Structure 1
Amino acid sequence: MSSKDTIIKIDDSRNGRESQKTEINILCLNLTPYSQLTQFLCCCIFVFICYLAYGFYLELIFSDPEVKPVSLYITLVQFIITMALSYVESLIRNPIKRKVPLKIYALLAALTLGTMSLSNLALSYLNYPTQLIFKSCKLIPVMIGSIIILGKRYGFLDYVAAVVMCIGLTMFTLADSMTSPNFDIVGVIVISLALLCDAIIGNVQEKAMKQFQASNNEVVFYSYAIGCVYLVVITGSTGILTKGYVYCSEVGSPLTMYVNIFLLSLSGYLGLQAVLTLVRISGATVAVTVTTMRKALSIIISFVLFSKPFVFQYVWSGMLVALAIYLNHYSKRNPGYVPGIVLACLHYTQSFYQSEYRYLRMKSKIYSDTV
């Protein structure tokens, strides 16, 4: 659910930290009177329950091969529910006041639509664990997008993390291609396009929110509202709107289908709020550790609840991806850090080439004097 993940932007200023100390909540649940440990445990419980539920309903809905032609219709319903939840939150907290120009929201809505619809569609071609591993590897396109769009520079560990992540991702994909009868290379292309949208949307959101001081809820509401307009036009003009309605009416119980989509949207939205609060009270590194553990548990539950072949290569490749995520966030806490052994190797290499250069110059001088 990376479109929502990328919306999370935390104010690290002194005033922001003071306001977070005075009010810690997850939607209507006020955690301020409780200790920091209690707040942390509550957030962890919310993260695990909500995102485990989200993964379950996502695989339950989109793993059916027959949903492939109408996946955009289900994404439309998901957009409408998320927009409604965002509006309800604004009624509970503060009214939404638009600060970002509509043309920027039009771009954000298109990118949000791209990342969510492509991520959902990818489940028709790939196992959920593989899709989740790919979504965990958005560091790679985000780094590329940040360098191109924002002109950012990254440290040594960031590039090491990207390389390790590529290796883990390749190993996981190869394991899936060897064991899954439903594996399709089209799924890899689709999820890669979703990650590309992720890379762009994260950087555009960061730039817009810093420039216009927009709230999280404002960005969520307008991105999904305009995305709904796009989806209505696309599904209406292509006939997917009618086909999707017929599909949801005929597959099992229509009420069950729409309840599943509602629970999918609700669990994802509540999980977003839990992660946001967790970052505020414990920091980004702790939050990433918790969400990484959640993703690992989601993969385990997926293998247990939805029958699929398993090989131990899944474990090794998943551990490599987790290591890359840790290296990336360690680099954020220690920018410019380079391991001592790497510095020693660089120093040795530099000294070696300098000595070789001096030796060659001396030899050349002796030769010229002899001649």
Structure 2
Amino acid sequence: MQFFSGSSFFRQRIVLSLLTSLPITISDIRSKSTSPGLRDFEASFLRLIDKFTNGTQITVDETGTKVVFRPGHIVGGRSVHNCGNSRPIGYFLEMIVCLAPFAKNETSIRLKGITNGKPDISVDFFKNVIINNLKKFGFETEDNIIGRPMSLKILRRGTSPLGNGEIRFTCPIVKKLDPLILLKEGKCNKMRGIAFTTRISPQISNRMVKTTRTVMTNFLNDIHIYTDHYSGKQSDTSPGFGISLVAKTTRNCFYGVDCVGEKGQIAEDIASECCKRILNEIAIGGVVDSSSQWIMALFMVICSEDVSKIRIGKLNKYTIGWLRALKTFFGVTFQIQPDSKTKTVLLSCKGVGLKNISRKFN
């Protein structure tokens, strides 16, 4: 039994417990707060994990400040979960993709809630950045997967506060994860994006597209920003708008950012902010953006027993905390080598060759 304290990295500890079959206890969850214990989105996450696994034992004390988690088997399969409206779907989706490759059955899950909102990644970012990055670990090889290729389909968009969005995520079982050597990012040569509106004028999307093209044509020629408008019964949700941008390089690397409009903000400001953020991600360098560092580190650890190495920009605080968690659960220490010439960081480790104990392969 491994013991932890506090609410930080709550869902990550649960996921790593499942991957390593290590029981954990998390205590003092906001014990000094005026509203102590688990938040509703954390309780919802535990319910999702209970659906996604078999034999898992979750014990929460009366105050909600202590959780004892005994991991079972990851079963995957078909399921539906309402994520609620406290945190976007991305909060839940990030953790499901870490478990799904090691499930007993191919995962086909429908998640309902907020598709685009703060502070988590949007479903567009997940679809166009996270999935493309993870495919490099062996999800594109047909003889290496059981089930349909990894994909995400947006069935209905939903924004805060009402949500009511819905997506379907499909993930195959992977026989093995390939080690990854990815050190050259190449030059950014393409920009793709989507500007969405729900229950407001579609002209808002057009204004975001126009502003984005005006800014980005100073740097790129190949730019395509699509619009996505939902209204009426197709979008039984709150009024909202936003934009998601993805930059692609000549080495098939991806950088993504999201911006969601809030009350009082105008379309042009949201588009300008998104452009500044994507340009900053490109300028920082590395083969992945800052929001993807942590998940690449995880898959480097659980891949085949060989060395993986990637180049990233500046390590963010979230990734640093994640690397510490990986060391605690897997005993893997990353080598971190700064590159003063490019002002990037080389991150490398040896994989543990994580096995899928829920299914036997031929």
Give TM-score, length-normalised by structure 2: 0.23
> If each structure's helix is expressed as a fraction of its own residues, which one has the higher value?
1
